[in-house]
Amino acid sequence: MYLTAEKKAEFFTEFGKNATDTGSAEGQIALFTFRIKHLTEHVKKNKKDLATMRSLVRLVGKRRKLLDYLKRKDIDRYREVIKKLGIRK
């Protein structure tokens, strides 16, 4: 399995306040980014897997909404997350 409980806790520890702070926007954005990268590699290998492609597009939309929310609420946190994760925008 590519995403274990320890890996999730690591994301929330690094980007959130602590490992149990799973509701923070930064932690969720980091987790979505990891999942997006994994699904992108899968879709590159399996071009006809349309169900995974749909999931990938939905996940990108979720991340975009969270990034827009963070941008509205606190531009400094937004810029920090973008820089750490290497998301282009």
CATH 1.25.40.80 correct for 5-85: no
Q: What's the CA gap between 12 and 28, in Å, rounded?
A: 8
Using DSSP, state whether 26 is helix, strand or coil: helix
pLDDT one-digit tens code per residue, 72-89: 999 999 999 999 999 986
Q: Is 30 exposed, middle or buried (0-12, 13-18, 19+ CB in 10 A)?
A: buried
Comparing C-alpha atoms, which of 87, 2, 88 is closest to residue 38? 2
Tokens of 69: 């929310």
**Higher pLDDT, residue 71 or 18:** 71
Task: Determine the average pLDDT of the residues in 44-65.
Answer: 97
